[in-house]
Structure 1
Amino acid sequence: MKRLLCAIFLSLMAAIGFAQDKVKVVYHVNTGVETAAAILNNITNELNASPTDKIVVVTHGPGIDFLLSDAKDSKGREFSGQVSALSAKGVEFRVCNNTLQTRKIDASKLLMEAQMVPSGVAEVARLQAKEGFVYLKP
């Protein structure tokens, strides 16, 4: 019995240690499509180096533009494929509803991987303060 309890304790300690090693990152994006390709490449590079990182991309203002249907980079390539590939790896994309309302953009224009949040700025703050995310502003 003592051995079993010791094994359970060690397993729990290892699990807690593993959970603490997981890095959580929020990418704050409020610039337009001209920088989105570089940001998506940064995220891809991060996941290649640290595949277990938890990444959330929070967008507002012109930063939402790459998450709109048919959005293209300066070379005419759509962002949807790269967003979909990153989403399949667990990256979450969040879009500010305040921006959608201010710019009169219907939510149906968003890529299916995008999730609306009430406020992009408030979401960034919440992730940092309440969930321990590291802040990156590419």
Structure 2
Amino acid sequence: MKILSTGLIAAALITLAGPAAAERYGEQRVVYHVNDFARANAALRNIGNHLDATGDDRTDIVVVTHSGGINFLLDNAQDQKGNTFEMGVLELAKRGVEFRVCANTLSARNLDEGDYSMLEEVIEVVPSGVAEVAHLQQQGYVHLKP
């Protein structure tokens, strides 16, 4: 009986995650605000799940990073398990996610484009990370901070 009810729950979840979920949520504009390296994996996972639920073509996601949050976008950045972030970032970029990095943070840390060259095709440098978050909110983006 327990197996049957677990199977029914799983089937219901799969059904909800399909086209019905995308219809439920409609079109969305979201800014994910990352300023802590320790939250980078959670942010990337949340974004993937978000797109799975709403549909790539119905969701506009921008990731704005500043302070320690830029670290996962630097060359050879690794999480605590030694996994790099590059493939996850590139995969989300292919799905339409934009990544923006704070120029103030780069300047304060004496970093330049050469420090994140493997991801430069998916990264836009903006003058200020926090001002970018506020600007996107003024444009109707919902602010999420994993």
TM-score (norm 1): 0.82
Structure 1 equivalent of residue 105 of structure 2: 99
Which secondary structure state, in structure 2, belongs to the residue aligned with residue 75 of structure 1?
Answer: coil
Structure 2 equivalent of residue 18 of structure 1: none
Question: Root-mean-square deviation (CA), in Å?
Answer: 1.3
1:34-56 superposed Cα distances (whole Å, 9 cap, x missing partner): 22111100000000001121000
Task: Report the identity percentage.
Answer: 53
1:29: Cα distance to partner?
0.5
Q: Which runs of 4+ in 1 moved over 6 A?
A: none
- Whether 1:119 and 2:128 are equivalent positions in the alignment is yes
Structure 2 equivalent of residue 65 of structure 1: 71
Structure 1 CA distance, aligned partners of 2:128 and 2:113? Answer: 14
Structure 1 equivalent of residue 115 of structure 2: 109
Which secondary structure state, in structure 1, belongs to the residue aligned with residue 130 of structure 2?
Answer: helix
Q: Which has the larger radius of gyration?
A: 1
Structure 1 CA distance, aligned partners of 2:47 and 2:124? Answer: 18
Structure 2 CA distance, aligned partners of 1:70 and 1:115? Answer: 18
Which secondary structure state, in structure 2, belongs to the residue aligned with residue 63 of structure 1?
Answer: helix
Which secondary structure state, in structure 1, belongs to the residue aligned with residue 100 of structure 2?
Answer: strand
Structure 1 CA distance, aligned partners of 2:31 and 2:141? Answer: 6
Structure 1 CA distance, aligned partners of 2:79 and 2:40? Answer: 8
Query: In the alignment, which of 36, 39, 64 is matched to residue 35 of structure 1?
Result: 39
The answer for unaligned runs of 5 or more in structure 2 is: 1-25
Which secondary structure state, in structure 1, belongs to the residue aligned with residue 82 of structure 2?
Answer: coil
Structure 2 CA distance, aligned partners of 1:57 and 1:96? Answer: 11
The answer for unaligned runs of 5 or more in structure 1 is: 1-20
Structure 1 equivalent of residue 16 of structure 2: none
1:43 partner letter:
I
Q: Identify, as 1 or 2, the structure richer in helix.
A: 2
Which secondary structure state, in structure 1, belongs to the residue aligned with residue 30 of structure 2?
Answer: strand
Structure 2 CA distance, aligned partners of 1:103 and 1:81? Answer: 25
- Contact preservation (8 Å) 2:100, 2:123: yes
Which secondary structure state, in structure 2, belongs to the residue aligned with residue 93 of structure 1?
Answer: strand
Aligned residues: 117
Structure 1 equivalent of residue 50 of structure 2: 46
